[in-house]
Amino acid sequence: MGQTGFAIDIYQNEYLPAGGQDVNAIVTVTAQDAEPVPPAEDTDGGSAEVIIVDCSGSMAYPSTKISSVRLATCAAIDVIHDGVAFSVLAGNDGAWPVYPDDGRMAIANEKTKQQAKQAVGHLHAAGGTAIGQWLRLARTVFSTYPAELRHAILLTDGKNEHEPRYDLEAAISACEGMFSCDCRGVGTDWVVEELRRVSTGLLGSVDIVPEPSGLAEDFAAMMESSMGKEVADVSLRVWTPQHASVRFVKQVAPAVADLRRTQSGPQETYYPTGAWGPGESRDYHLCVRVASAAVGQEMLAARVSLIAGSQANPEVLAQGLVRAVWTDDEALSTQINGHVAHYTGQAELAEVIQEGLEARKRGDEETATAKLGRAVALAEQSGNAGTAKLLAKVVDVVDAATGTVRLKNKVDDADEMALDTRSTRTVRTRK
């Protein structure tokens, strides 16, 4: 574990009207910058990496696709720090170890990385797609090495057609807590919702790489980011008093994401957040329902702690308090905290984009126009220029402020999928 320190900031309007029960807060967690040090050998065996590449038959068309995958995998291998355990797996309607070929992990050094790249050079495309089997093999491989930080990269170019949906869901559940996974789809024949299920369950990211030529840069960047992680298995622990309960906790920055909830006790819940690196900051929306109280009373609605390690023996890294105060002053109780308002809008932005694109696929132009128009207005209000730019490739914007749009007659598949995969990305609110 690294020496990264953490801080928690709470943003809320603590005032509730008489009878009010829902307390909303934005919890900002920041991993403070440590002293910069050059990449060093991982001598304590703290990290492990698995690269999972799709070798189904569709990867052969065009032939540049599989060759780009080989180059991208080699680029990621080059970034792995000496001393880090690693493995390369291939998958189609089955899964098998590429390097090492015995299903274990190698320790990165000049020799093993060169051997891995030679093995990757023999990858060829054939067969179907069964992502659940790929994940299960990754879990097995990770279990052969006792690392704290476990991270995988998964690449596919197609639909998960050769296993039932419940097999993929079961594989994701089996891998939760074992490793994180960043997912990439190359081209436009894969399904965003399938990879989003994997990345959400395994605390990773999902994105499109429209052209195979972009894979090498993207793979190297993902691996570089993983090499910067220092603290593993960090969770938010939310304690609430009796007669209070957590309605939800969700990540709202840098992207909207649901968090898996684990119960520890009647008043304590845990939400795994994955691994962290120095300088990283994330925002979470917490909503707690409390028993209403008389005007003038106040209470501690929640204690939010950032912890590392097991629930049985946790290390508290930082802590923040969420309060509730009942008032008959409408000027106080009707104020919406700026952070809460901002991220509520950002969560709605992601939702209406996905709903609008789904309506467009169904041919429901009226609903698609309304939803995507609302998205344009929300992006304009929040200053989310990146999402606004993606929306402009799917709709013609007549008036951004009012959300007046027209659906484009023809939309490139890659542009539509980019909007879908990146719909959850948010912009930060100023402190």
In the chain, which residues have pLDDT < 50?
A: 1-2, 36-40, 43
Using an 8 Å Cβ cutoff, are 235 and 271 in contact?
Answer: yes
Contacts of 193 (CB under 8 A, 6+ apart): none
CA nearest neighbour of 161 among 135, 194, 183, 192:
194
Q: Report the pLDDT value the prediction gives residue 310, as an integer from 0 to 100.
A: 76
Residue keyed to tokens 């120095």? 278
Among the listed residues 315, 313, 305, the one whose alpha carbon sits nearest the alpha carbon of residue 284: 305
Q: What's the distance, CA 256 to chain centroid?
A: 8
pLDDT at 298: 96
For a pLDDT cut of 90, what percent of the chain falls above it? 91
Residue 421's closest CA among 387, 396, 394, 393?
Answer: 387
Instruction: Provide the 3-class DSSP secondary structure of residue 303.
Output: strand
What structural domains does the chain harbor? 6-31+232-333 (2.60.40.3670), 47-227 (3.40.50.410), 338-421 (1.20.120.1690)
pLDDT in tens, 292-314: 999 999 999 999 999 998 777 88
- Yes or no: say if 178 and 77 are a contact pair by the CB < 8 Å rule: no
Phi-psi region of 293 (alpha: psi -120 to 50; beta: other; left: phi over 0): beta
